[in-house]
Structure 1
Amino acid sequence: MGTAVLAIATFATVLTTSLVTAIPASAQSEPESEPYHVTTAWNGVKTVTYLGRSFTVPFSWRVVDLARHPYTCVRFDVHAVYLGQPGDKQRCPARGAGRRIGALLIEPDLTRSAGSATVALDHRLSSEIDVAAPGLTITASYGHDRDTVIGALTAAGLPSPAYAPTRVAPALALARDAVPVEIVRGTNQATGLGFDTCAAPSTTQMDAWATSPFSAIGIYIGGDERACDQSNLTGDWLTARAKAGWHFMPLYVGWQAAWDKLTATTSTPGPGALGKESADDAVIQARSLGIGPGALLYYDMESYTTPAQSAAAMAFLSAWTAELHAHGYRSAVYSSAATGIADLMVHRGKITEPDVVAIAHWNGVADADLTATPTNAWPVQRAHQYLGNVYASYGGVKLNIDKDYLSINNAAPIGTAPFTTVPIGTASISTAPINTAPVATTTVPITGTSCPNAATSPVPRPRGSSSNRLVAC
């Protein structure tokens, strides 16, 4: 990004300036951007005017014109205002976990006419506010910047958000459960190489990678530590990839023990309650993409260091797995071989154990890493992330990825213990299948402003949900 030249005559002077940015030659032929301008004030703020609305944000936030810079990776773990539609060939890093902070993605939406209702919903577990208004849609991440983000939205004449429902309405859940069997099977049965990257690649990129040795892909479906925009990730995208033979690792990245969010519980529920709540949200996100019951969902628990963090992580992950089982889903846990996976071994027989482990151990060896656990632990229910943050190119498309090897064959009923034997002297592990009857849910009414007809009005969903990110309130 270039720097705008400011000329401040007095402390009270406000200067209107255009954002000056060097445009690489490769981007000269890109579509024209919508007109916008930036007004900078002396008091440490600036106003970004775009699509007829003015958003006031801190002066330090970057402003990025995505039409002029289509390869920009739209990330929600950096302070930025992104204008326009994200490119379908973003150059993103492999790492998909990052602490969300204040950022705005403002996109034109010609399907929303002047008479369309304005809807603003706060998806607390995603740390995201989604707005649908005449002529535009907004995805706003916040983290610890919630007040700043809401201030930017209300300054633009948009309503304060209402909290989104945290449960799937029964009718919606029933409709979403009728999903292609390829997707469910594609999470549960996979042997061979896979990769994961921060943002789901475009259809064109995935088609190019049909020539690669990979047959599985990790996709980030939700969580408030999901760093990248997921514009490419839709139900149609998943269905097409499944028909092309791809298998899936649906990753949910939320509360982290490493960053003390699970141990700092003075103003939040304990780790067990948060694990249950996160599993409920993961099911909502999975269903919105057409990933139905029976599928394997992964929790991304990054490495941690202290005993307190270890205890919190185990309580959280036990509750995560139990709640997924209650919804009829399988559970996987991704973590470091030295911390999260090692702790799962120490606590086996004492907690509700995941059906699959995904072991982060960058030893460069593309195998199931059987030495990371005892021989009887998850023998064919495991994945191994063996290399990270590397570039690979196939079909003329270059991506930054983490490399994985999968050895997963979940033929047993959901909830069956993942161990083939139990050593003498350890707690017994039930091998009976769990009760997979549908879980009763309720529709949470929308209160406050933004859903004029709570029974039928379309409301925004977090990015990466089904088409248009709209469901019933």
Structure 2
Amino acid sequence: MRHAVQLSGVLGVAVAAPLLACLWPAAARPPAAALTGAAEDGPGGARTVRYHGVRVPVPEGWTVYRLDRDPSRCVRYDRHAVYLGRPGPQPDCPARVVGRTEAVHVQPLDGRPEADGGPGASSRTIVRGSRLASYTVRRSTGQEARLALPEAGVAITGVYGTDPSLLQWLLRGTRLDPAGPAVPPGHHRPGEPDPPTDPTDDPSFAMPPFIGPPGPDGEDGEQGDGGDETKAEGAWAAGRGFDTCTAPALSSMRAWRPSFKITNIYIGGAARGCAQPNLTPGWVRKVRKMGYRITPTYVGLQAPCGSRPQRFTAGNAASKGRKAAVDAARRARALGIPPHKPIYFDMEAYRGNAACRRAVLRFVNGWVKRLKSENYKPCLYSSAASGIRDVGRSARIARPGCVWFANWDGRARLYGDPYLPDHWWTPHRRIKQYRGGHRERHGGVTLNIDSNIVDGSVY
């Protein structure tokens, strides 16, 4: 009898598979790579997961993370995963994640301020459930799709590596759950506390002033004039800084404030590897009110000879540099960063021949010229031994007005670097990242950070 039941089950699957293939919209079927393995409860070899008011297909090999059960989980875009729910206030992220593949994040659409460094809630495309099966993911500079499904009460953020077809299949295969949203939009779950109040909402709140260590010429580190160019284009600061993959919670920023003066934010880009659940215009405003100064950074396409899959080419380098500048300026404005402030482009380390180096220079030239026309100050982050060295040696391009160079030699010294002559980018136009990812604890809060010493352009 047991053998008969097993045989009937096999026959049932054999008959059902072609039927499912006919019933499931052809446009919503997964690519061949997603069709391997036995189906669990979804068509075409993919299982489905339910969340709030939707059912989402999950290709074989992908991991599903439920953030309500694991609130410290970092929403990373460099691995195949489906994230369900809102991240906790302090995700446990690495210091740096650069690069993307396909990933999806589904969370409640409840009227809270839009985060993730995007241009605001209005940037989400409102889609009705009946139209999901025909939704098209268009190629974009940010390599992402941002949807709002009011019927289900959810917002969906999807990213892709180089080809949007798998992300498009995932979104087209998403369906409204007949059971409806688990929680009505704009409401909290029973027993869930209201969002915590923040003392920085009080207009009278102000952190005590903080003066960083003296700069290389002995001046205190704040708002110097450092020559005509620096005076004309914005402020500088000197002192200790840190950067981490995702903007920390405001409570963490307050705890770290006595130890640091400068922090970094990743405002967007096709290779930005971490979600930014805390990053809103309000976060930027409150952190600056604490006394921090910020280095806004855009992580776009990388060098043709770099190690990340998101790359420009020798043929499109200049145009991609210009497009990155337009997108970076748009995102900076959305976060309330005023004109004439610096935006750093993150060009990760690369090793290549002369053709690759020329492509990098064309990209940087396009970035610098276009960002200036967008009324922001173009700056560059890169390895001292590759991007900074190559740009510094070139006399044929428009150079960035300030640099942030990586040389993990453990020395918090801005000058005397073997790759940068001391007369390059001076005064008050240098930041050095002297130590890579590691954990530090300040004010009872531990974060995974890179360490920086600063005498350069900030917001």
Same fold (TM over 0.5): yes
Judged with a 3 Å threshold, the aligned counterparts in structure 2 of structure 1 residues 351 and 144 are, in CA distance, closer, same or farther, namely: closer
Report the residue type matching 2:101 in the other structure: I
Judged with a 3 Å threshold, the aligned counterparts in structure 2 of structure 1 residues 11 and 130 are, in CA distance, closer, same or farther, namely: farther
Judged with a 3 Å threshold, the aligned counterparts in structure 2 of structure 1 residues 41 and 12 are, in CA distance, closer, same or farther, namely: farther
Say which of 290, 297, 301 aligns to 1:255: 301
Give the conservation status (yes or no) of the 8 Å contact 2:162–2:309: no
Give SS of 1:317's match.
Answer: helix
**How much has 1:10 moved relative to structure 2?**
3.2
Give the conservation status (yes or no) of the 8 Å contact 1:57–1:148: no
- Between the aligned partners of 1:273 and 1:42, the Cα distance in structure 2 is 41
Give the 5 Å matches for 1:119-268.
124-134=140-150, 135-157=153-175, 188-212=235-259, 214-257=260-303, 258=306, 259=308, 262=311, 264=313
- Between the aligned partners of 2:320 and 2:107, the Cα distance in structure 1 is 32
Judged with a 3 Å threshold, the aligned counterparts in structure 2 of structure 1 residues 144 and 353 are, in CA distance, closer, same or farther, namely: closer
Per-residue CA deviation, residues 395-434 of structure 1 (Å, 9 max, x unaligned), is: 11100000011112689xxxxxxxxxxxxxxxxxxxxxxx
Per-residue CA deviation, residues 191-229 of structure 1 (Å, 9 max, x unaligned), is: 0110100000011111111232x1111110010100001
- Between the aligned partners of 2:447 and 2:80, the Cα distance in structure 1 is 24
- Residue in 2 aligned with 1:339? 386
- Residue in 1 aligned with 2:205? none
- Residue in 1 aligned with 2:455? 407
**How much has 1:157 moved relative to structure 2?**
4.2
Report the residue type matching 1:118 in the other structure: V
- Residue in 1 aligned with 2:58? 57
- Residue in 2 aligned with 1:350? 396
Judged with a 3 Å threshold, the aligned counterparts in structure 2 of structure 1 residues 85 and 233 are, in CA distance, closer, same or farther, namely: same
- Between the aligned partners of 2:49 and 2:399, the Cα distance in structure 1 is 49
Matched, 1:398 2:446: yes
**How much has 1:326 moved relative to structure 2?**
1.1
Judged with a 3 Å threshold, the aligned counterparts in structure 2 of structure 1 residues 63 and 409 are, in CA distance, closer, same or farther, namely: closer
Judged with a 3 Å threshold, the aligned counterparts in structure 2 of structure 1 residues 336 and 12 are, in CA distance, closer, same or farther, namely: farther
Aligned length: 349
Give the conservation status (yes or no) of the 8 Å contact 1:235–1:288: yes
Judged with a 3 Å threshold, the aligned counterparts in structure 2 of structure 1 residues 263 and 111 are, in CA distance, closer, same or farther, namely: closer
Give the conservation status (yes or no) of the 8 Å contact 1:123–1:129: no
Give the conservation status (yes or no) of the 8 Å contact 1:128–1:140: yes
Give the 5 Å matches for 1:55-94.
55-94=56-95
Matched, 1:306 2:324: no
- Between the aligned partners of 1:360 and 1:187, the Cα distance in structure 2 is 23
Give the conservation status (yes or no) of the 8 Å contact 1:263–1:309: no
Per-residue CA deviation, residues 113-133 of structure 1 (Å, 9 max, x unaligned), is: xxx953788571111100111
Give the conservation status (yes or no) of the 8 Å contact 1:11–1:42: no
**How much has 1:139 moved relative to structure 2?**
0.7
Unaligned runs of 5+ in 1: 1-7, 15-37, 159-181, 412-473
- Between the aligned partners of 1:386 and 1:46, the Cα distance in structure 2 is 45
Mean Cα displacement is larger for which, 302-311 or 271-280?
Answer: 302-311
Per-residue CA deviation, residues 257-308 of structure 1 (Å, 9 max, x unaligned), is: 014754546xxx6101110110010000000000121100000001111122
**How much has 1:235 moved relative to structure 2?**
0.4
Give SS of 2:164's match.
Answer: helix
Give the 5 Å matches for 1:281-430.
281-307=327-353, 308-347=355-394, 349-371=395-417, 372-380=419-427, 381-408=429-456
- Between the aligned partners of 2:53 and 2:309, the Cα distance in structure 1 is 41
Give the conservation status (yes or no) of the 8 Å contact 1:384–1:405: yes
- Between the aligned partners of 1:203 and 1:123, the Cα distance in structure 2 is 34
Give the conservation status (yes or no) of the 8 Å contact 1:140–1:149: yes
Give SS of 2:351's match.
Answer: coil
- Between the aligned partners of 2:397 and 2:290, the Cα distance in structure 1 is 38
**How much has 1:41 moved relative to structure 2?**
5.6
Report the residue type matching 2:71 in the other structure: P
Judged with a 3 Å threshold, the aligned counterparts in structure 2 of structure 1 residues 326 and 146 are, in CA distance, closer, same or farther, namely: same
**How much has 1:373 moved relative to structure 2?**
1.7
**How much has 1:149 moved relative to structure 2?**
1.5
Give SS of 1:388's match.
Answer: strand
- Between the aligned partners of 2:244 and 2:54, the Cα distance in structure 1 is 34
- Residue in 2 aligned with 1:106? 106
Runs of 4+ in 1 over 6 A off after TM superposition: 184-187
Mean Cα displacement is larger for which, 397-406 or 45-54?
Answer: 45-54
Identity level (%): 36
- Between the aligned partners of 1:144 and 1:12, the Cα distance in structure 2 is 38
Judged with a 3 Å threshold, the aligned counterparts in structure 2 of structure 1 residues 324 and 264 are, in CA distance, closer, same or farther, namely: closer
Mean Cα displacement is larger for which, 304-313 or 355-364?
Answer: 304-313
Judged with a 3 Å threshold, the aligned counterparts in structure 2 of structure 1 residues 270 and 264 are, in CA distance, closer, same or farther, namely: closer
Per-residue CA deviation, residues 421-449 of structure 1 (Å, 9 max, x unaligned), is: xxxxxxxxxxxxxxxxxxxxxxxxxxxxx
- Between the aligned partners of 1:410 and 1:400, the Cα distance in structure 2 is 22
- Between the aligned partners of 2:409 and 2:147, the Cα distance in structure 1 is 44
Give SS of 1:85's match.
Answer: coil
Give the conservation status (yes or no) of the 8 Å contact 2:438–2:448: yes
CA RMSD of aligned residues (A): 2.9
- Between the aligned partners of 1:187 and 1:75, the Cα distance in structure 2 is 33
Give SS of 1:211's match.
Answer: coil
Judged with a 3 Å threshold, the aligned counterparts in structure 2 of structure 1 residues 403 and 364 are, in CA distance, closer, same or farther, namely: same
Judged with a 3 Å threshold, the aligned counterparts in structure 2 of structure 1 residues 136 and 263 are, in CA distance, closer, same or farther, namely: closer
- Between the aligned partners of 2:458 and 2:56, the Cα distance in structure 1 is 49
Give the conservation status (yes or no) of the 8 Å contact 1:256–1:302: yes
Give the conservation status (yes or no) of the 8 Å contact 1:122–1:130: no
- Between the aligned partners of 2:441 and 2:258, the Cα distance in structure 1 is 10
Per-residue CA deviation, residues 83-124 of structure 1 (Å, 9 max, x unaligned), is: 1101111100001322x1111110122449xxx953788571
- Residue in 1 aligned with 2:127? 118
